[in-house]
Structure 1
């Protein structure tokens, strides 16, 4: 019976890590506090981050509104100048009359002066000078010249007024008479006028500025040292972004040393850049402070939880120590226990007290039981020794030996389990059959028939071992190796107690007689040859293995398993 009963299984060794009660309580405190704190931290951070995003969006909208307001103000001034350029008095050369109209317009707009220029830069009318005062010729004439040459309105960068040298910007429009551009009409705007355009949009703590194409400050809010910064270059972080349509969230440092996020938009009506800066703390501060609070809250929660866990663990350890002392004292007699503050420990003490009282009257029974256990252990060790010897003889390598040895030990263990469940009185033959075959086939593939029969311990162990070997062989080579295979097992017993058990496989693969005797064959034949009246017949029928075993239903001798006699 080739390889009968060989099974391979892995061996696993696990180390057991033991912790004191205090460690479990500390772990409980940590696992309780961390999820709650993490959830609260996530919600707090989420809400603060969302608030920060809203602040950013509000800041961006504020900058766009400031840029749009500047563009709209310039567009309105251009419209007013273009209307003034259509004055009939100007077309007819009545410059004194035109000057009066310009005086009213400059007051309405709020500029410094309105000046009419000839193409060579000569002033023809100037609302800041008296009517009969001599009019100068302008040398810096680029804006007005571009207006005349292109026929489109132009906006300058920072300039100095011709009359008094104050810093201004100018807006110039061409003047057409009879379809021909004859003059350039401009208005000068003071830097304070530009600053006033930002008042509505630059809140406390922010810094707003208007910068010309050369990077010079045209206006700033809030003011530093009056107007001293007008005409000064903007800070380097902003200077690097000039000329771009937009630049957002640039890290910079203000002139007062405050870290800021600065952004700028280029004006659509001019070459100016509108800049707005906000302290970084306004954007990042709430997030940073929230993180700090989260860290502090987490630390406080953990420390509090650990402190409480330590306090409670001391109470537990004190009670367990008292329980340990009580258990140790049971050796000298079961004394009335002293109850403590933990109800579960008190219950254990009471149970131990009652058990100890009962055990005090059962020392002789324990000795008898130990003697019986010693006897059975010796028999079991002899059985294991024989299984090891026979498995070694039938195995070709170490792995096959280990698998076969483990499988046979498990079969022996199952038999011991059945006996233990029945207090070693005996086990029914049907229970042995069904438990042995359960791992190999379902009830639909089994035909089991026989009278109710109780086998004694030694016979139980022998028959369990034999059935295990037959089942293993059927799973590897016989009826259990294919889905269609079936097994019929039946037994009878006569009036003398002799049992005849028949094992018949069918609908399995074709059976060939083995060329050598494996462990199963040696074990079964040796076991049944070692007892008077026992016999076994193995028939390797091509249609299915048939095994007929005959044995007594009671112990005939007081010794080890019959298989131990086989070598």
Structure 2
């Protein structure tokens, strides 16, 4: 079928248009992102400026509170000498615009530095419920803007609660003109910004611009309503109708809000400048591209015959056949490439079959920076990429973003095997740990070689890697198991050493020491067997008690009851030794030394969540009377020492006439470290 044919120049112009339009679209996208980033930056600057102003102003308010705190310690105030206190307050405010007032929580003033002592003091508004609550909670509050009745100026006050010599507490306040707040905040106002401070009712306390016009007046309702929460930003119109970008911060101390404003047009100015620059550069680029396309197109026709000859030589030497195409000049080139592709395809299919079959990951690259690679199926699977059976093997893809580690150090992409091979370096059997974007970690054994042209120039590189992840994980698991075994063996040996030392120290003869030590080690071994059955995750209290006492006496001599409680391994071993000593002591001197005595073992959990305690009681009945002696046996010493010193548990021994009562209170979630309280010493040695 004959298609309409157009010149190379026409196709180039169409190609240029197709290339430029996406670029412009991408530029528009970048411009939009830039606008968002600029808007976000201005919003953050506005919020940060509001915070900085709040720090400055709140610092001044803190200074006023500090003055009040010092004045509240006055001996004259404590003794009720208001005239002396008035003189002290006048000395503090002399030569300043500050006013100090002492009043009760009702309407009465007791002292005012603006009015001479002894003169009649006018009544004032009572303290509001909200301010009373804040005074009760923190002892201090910051007032809203108010008008001084004497001078008519707007002021704010910091007040603290002070104890009266008698009766209800008093209120001591220090007020300053709002102009002072304006002077303080000016130090933190950036150039071009307008900063305002508002009280809890939305009235202006101070303003960096037009302060005298707006102090004490309410802000625009639409503006104040947007100040919600602790901090944020918004856009709103000002009194002149201009749109502002505002950031705000509300102080938790004074409950004032601080706003920083900048004209929205100032925030958008960089965007418009960038838009103009992009449009100008885009138009210039289009004109240059059209001119280049026109002149280059004239040369394409002359190069067609030469390109066709080379393409034919690439194949098997067959003659060029016509191919239906819209570009006359490229018809011969396209057919020549088809012939060459047929010859190359046979070799490629053979290579693909080998690479898809071999259980090794293979990467080829012809990119000088090794950022574009050709992978086989195994390499794609290792990197967590989908494997497409219909995808051409020779098609390059961008490398995925992985983190490579060798010998504990992160390896940059320039120092990895494939990149080094592109520089002519050889890599043999080097181990790397790769972390994929999905978080999966792979261990690879890699080798790499450069690919050279017949002239010796490096044109590419190849890397072959074997997956040794399972082997490395096995080695790590073996290491962990070995360390865990060493740790547990050391702990067991430490316990055995402690038992042997205490046994030998308290034994009266070598044979007695041997029997006692053997009995205690058997008890330790039984507890260890119980933990092994649970993979050393711990033991249930009921199983632990039954195992510990059944090896010494018939289980029907014990009344065992309690809910299911899981003890950690270290707690279980300590408890097993304690039960062994209590049982041995009962067999020798207590309830189990005759035919009728019994032992009741009961427990329950106390507390909630992370602060749960196991309360366990050992109570003997029906045995011989218990008589206290002066000397502590090993059993008592063990109960005092087996859990180590600390405050996370408690053991109490009571020697009643009916028999021994041992109460253990143990933290069920951690290592037991109880202290011991003894009412008496046991009536025998164990």
TM norm structure 1: 0.47
Q: Which has the larger strand fraction? A: 2
Structure with the larger RCO, 1 or 2 (CA within 8 Å, 6+ apart):
1
Larger Rg: 1
TM norm structure 2: 0.39
